[in-house]
Amino acid sequence: MSKTAILEIDGKKYEFPLVEGTENEVAIDIKSLRSDTNGVTTLDPGYKNTGSCESAITFLNGEEGILRYRGYAIEDLAEKADFLEVAYLLIFGELPTKDELIKFHNDIKAQSHVDEDVKRIIDGFPKSAHPMGVLSSLTSALVAFNPSSVNVDSEEEMYNAIVKIMAKFPVLTAWAYRKRVGLPLDYGDDSLGYVENFLKMMFKKPNGDYIPKQVIVDALDKLLILHADHEQNCSTSTVRIVGSSHAGLFVSISAGIAALWGPLHGGANQAVIEMLEAIKEDGGDTKKYMAKAKDKDDPFRLMGFGHRVYKNFDPRAKIIKRSADSVLDDLGIDDPVLNIAKGLEKEALEDPYFVDRKLYPNVDFYSGIIYRSLGIPVEMFTPMFALGRLPGWIAQWREMRLRKEPIGRPRQIYIGETLRDFKPVEKR
């Protein structure tokens, strides 16, 4: 017999089926709630208790610190796979064979140019524009240069749209940076790997070559893998909900970039370094800032600590902490800002306020540290996150369309004025 949940409202009982996922997560299926109960709905601001979809892409268990893409442990993928393999896995559901991977990479390379007119759009932005705003606008503008909408029933059309965005997005990310620092907008080198080529597109000077150290390529590859998907977070839910109106892939991703920009989401890695710099400017007193973070009357929060779903530890933070240590060692960096980071990390891990609330350093605490040590400017941190998250957004958009999900349209509980008489302006 299938399991059900009983809900009692004003003495009347209603029965709803329970849905169980492959990892034994249980949900109450309330699809018929409003019609069965004549209009009763649920209230769940921030959706902390709401499953918005069924998904076969990413499994995470915040209590136990588990993260898996398509059933593979994040620890294994970060150690043994590269970013492009992980992108393929997330989007298409299986790890690619050698031939599939070569084809995927070649198809991406074949699309790794953007229309020259895009440069004129970039010209119109002031240098001071935040690269996330530029990136979101440019991703949206790609639609104008690729106007045909994707027929989601055609595997070929879906595949072509996917390789196009995988190819052009790193170019746009690098160009958003180059515009900001006044470097000419040009291309990398298609004979390189995806990540190496991206680094070259970012850092190559017009009068010299750029050959990144292997430790840098490896650390960035790992960071992109760790950021590649995280099930129904704020930006991914945005991508799915925008796409649910049958808006196209590129424009849905553009909306996801906007959602990722905020300091409580992807913007946290930038906020971490800005916070550390502010502490340094203020004399480096970490204890003072620990006290501010704990003071209920002070809005200050320790950026890079805490997570909506990981309430014990963030498995990505564990992996990337090791990477951060080896990059700092290899590059021989002794940076006062990074020393403040180490001090805060130690104090917070021993402080009852943080321990009791299960507030641990999250992936963005360490990603900010790595990006800074690689010489990536702070306002580029969140675009780097977007580059990593791209395959996840694509995979989730594709899944949502293939499952023919209905348009996203939450309900509300209205708490405003009830009907009142209109007063002409002279009587107000």
Helix axes 131-145, 381-402, angle to 10 degrees: 40
Binding flags for ligand ACO, 248-287, as an x/- string (CB under 6 A): ----------------xx--x-------------------
Question: Taking Cα atoms as reference points, which of 71, 402, 388 lies closest to residue 233?
Answer: 388
Closest-by-Cβ residue to ligand ACO is: 306
Q: Is 305 in the site for ligand ACO (CB under 6 A)?
A: yes
Q: Is 389 in the site for ligand ACO (CB under 6 A)?
A: no
Q: Is 216 in the site for ligand ACO (CB under 6 A)?
A: no
Spatial contact of 14 and 2, defined as CB atoms under 8 Å apart: no
- Residues of this chain, 108-127, that bind ligand ACO according to CB under 6 A: none
Query: Which is catalytic among the residues 82, 221, 229, 364?
Result: 364
> What are the helix (H) ranges across 182-213?
194-203
Nearest-approach distance from CB 388 to ligand ACO, in angstroms: 10
Sole window of 114-122, 355-363, 369-377, 392-400 interacting with ligand ACO (rule: CB under 6 A)? 355-363
Nearest-approach distance from CB 21 to ligand ACO, in angstroms: 22
Nearest-approach distance from CB 364 to ligand ACO, in angstroms: 5
Nearest-approach distance from CB 79 to ligand ACO, in angstroms: 21
Q: Is 306 in the site for ligand ACO (CB under 6 A)?
A: yes
CA separation, residue 107 to residues 89, 112, 295, 383 (Å): 16, 9, 53, 23
Q: Is 168 in the site for ligand ACO (CB under 6 A)?
A: no
Q: How many CA atoms lie within 13 A of 337 on its CB side?
A: 17
Q: Residue 306 and residue 257: Cα distance in Å, rounded?
A: 22
Query: What are φ and ψ of residue 61, in 5° steps?
Result: -125, 105
Q: Is 318 in the site for ligand ACO (CB under 6 A)?
A: no
Active-site residue 99, yes or no? no
Query: Which is catalytic among the residues 307, 314, 330, 334?
Result: 307
The secondary structure element, H or E, covering residue 75 is helix 74-80
**What 8-state DSSP symbol labels residue 425?**
G
Q: In the complex with ligand ACO, which residue's Cβ is closer, 107 or 351? A: 351
**What 8-state DSSP symbol labels residue 378?**
G
Q: In the complex with ligand ACO, which residue's Cβ is closer, 248 or 315? A: 315
Q: Work out which of 84, 327, 359, 387 binds ligand ACO, going by CB under 6 A.
A: 359
Helix axes 131-145, 249-261, angle to 10 degrees: 170
Q: Is 290 in the site for ligand ACO (CB under 6 A)?
A: no
Question: Taking Cα atoms as reference points, which of 185, 165, 166 lies closest to residue 174?
Answer: 185
Q: In the complex with ligand ACO, which residue's Cβ is closer, 142 or 257? A: 257
Q: Residue 266 and residue 388: Cα distance in Å, rounded?
A: 11
Q: Residue 315 and residue 118: Cα distance in Å, rounded?
A: 39
Q: In the complex with ligand ACO, which residue's Cβ is closer, 203 or 261? A: 261
Q: Work out which of 197, 323, 362, 396 binds ligand ACO, going by CB under 6 A.
A: 362
Q: In the complex with ligand ACO, which residue's Cβ is closer, 291 or 402? A: 291
Spatial contact of 225 and 195, defined as CB atoms under 8 Å apart: no
- For 314: left if phi > 0, alpha if psi spans -120 to 50, otherwise beta; the answer is beta
Sole window of 63-71, 197-205, 304-312, 418-426 interacting with ligand ACO (rule: CB under 6 A)? 304-312
Nearest-approach distance from CB 292 to ligand ACO, in angstroms: 9
Q: Is 308 in the site for ligand ACO (CB under 6 A)?
A: yes
Q: Is 304 in the site for ligand ACO (CB under 6 A)?
A: yes
Nearest-approach distance from CB 363 to ligand ACO, in angstroms: 6
Tokens of 47: 């959706």
Q: Is 224 in the site for ligand ACO (CB under 6 A)?
A: no
Q: Is 228 in the site for ligand ACO (CB under 6 A)?
A: no
The secondary structure element, H or E, covering residue 279 is helix 268-281
User: Coil, helix or strand for 309?
Assistant: coil
Active-site residue 364, yes or no? yes
Q: Residue count at the site for ligand ACO (CB under 6 A)?
A: 17
Q: Work out which of 303, 344, 394, 400 binds ligand ACO, going by CB under 6 A.
A: 303
Q: Residue 179 and residue 264: Cα distance in Å, rounded?
A: 26
Spatial contact of 9 and 40, defined as CB atoms under 8 Å apart: yes
**What 8-state DSSP symbol labels residue 41?**
-
Q: Residue 410 and residue 416: Cα distance in Å, rounded?
A: 18
The overall longest dimension of the chain from CA atoms, in Å, is 78
Query: What are φ and ψ of residue 427, in 5° steps?
Result: -100, 5
Q: Is 345 in the site for ligand ACO (CB under 6 A)?
A: no
Nearest-approach distance from CB 294 to ligand ACO, in angstroms: 7
Catalog residues that contact ligand ACO under the rule CB under 6 A: 264-265, 268, 293, 301-308, 357, 359, 362-364
Catalytic residue annotation: 307, 364
